[in-house]
Amino acid sequence: VDEISFRHVDAIGLQFVGKNNILRRTTIQFAGQMGLNARGSSMRVEENRFLHNNTRVFNKWWEACGVKIIGDQGLHDSAFSSNVFAFNRGDGLWVDWMNTNIRIDNNIAAFNSGFGIHFEASQGGVIRDNASYGNGQRGIYIFESSDVLVENNVVLGNGLEGIVAAQGDRWKSNPILLPRRNQFKQNVVGWNRDIQLMHAPDGLEADSDFNTIFSDGVAQFRRGWGSAIHRPARGLLALRKGLGVFA
C-alpha cells in the first residue's frame, strides 16, 4: 500500500495480516479507534503519518491509538521507520503481546495523549534514533518486555517519565514477561514531568550508559516503581551509589 489516504474510518483505518507486507508514504487520520493494526512477519511500515486517531474516544488502556500491533501469533522480524505518530487519543505506536525482533527507528511520536512509543509483553526490539516529545504520558515505555535496546533517542517534555522499562505481575504465570536485559544507550532525555530514566528492579541485567540528561532541577532516576519507602535517586551520584546500573 503506497501513497494512499485513509480518513474518517469508523473503527480501524487499515489492517494488515500476513508476510512481506509494506505500508509506505500513506496517511491514516481521524479513524474512530486506531489508525493501523497488523500481525504477521517481515512487514515494513515506512514514511507514513498516523494522525488524530481514536475520534470515538475508546478507552486507551484497552485498544485505541495511532498504531497497535497485536493479535493471533503477533508480528515478527518487522520494522517501523521514518513515520509520524502524532495527536492520537492514546499511544502513538503500541507494540503489544508476544511480538519479536521489531525495529523502531527514525520516527516522530509527538503530542499523543498516551505514551509516545509503547513496547509491551514482547521480546527483542531496537528503538533507535526516534524523537518522542510532548506526549501526555511516558515518552518511551518498555513494559514486561526483554532484550530491548533503546538507543540514541530524543525524549523531551512528556507528561510522565521519559524512558521506562518496567515489571508487571504477569511474569508469575508466564516467566517470559520478566523484563530482562533491557538497555538505555546514548539517549537525550530531559524536562519530562516525572523520573527521567527508570529501569526494572535489581537482578534483571539492566544496563544504561552515555545518556545525556536535562532537568530544571535535580534529575531523578529509579529502579522499579516508586512507593513511600522506595524513593527516586536524586542526581547521578546518588544513582550510581544506590543502583549500580546507570553510568
Say if residue 177's pLDDT is above 90. yes
| Run of H or E residues at 236 | helix 236-242
Q: How does DSSP classify residue 180?
A: -
When pLDDT is averaged across residues 1-10 and rounded to a whole number, the result is: 97
pLDDT in tens, 22-73: 999 999 999 999 999 999 999 999 999 999 999 999 999 999 999 999 978 8
Say if residue 85's pLDDT is above 90. yes
Say if residue 116's pLDDT is above 80. yes
Q: What percent of the chain has pLDDT over 90?
A: 79
pLDDT in tens, 32-46: 999 999 999 999 999
pLDDT in tens, 117-139: 999 999 999 999 999 999 999 99
CB neighbours of 105 closer than 8 A, spacing ≥ 6?
79, 80, 81, 82, 126, 127, 128, 129, 130
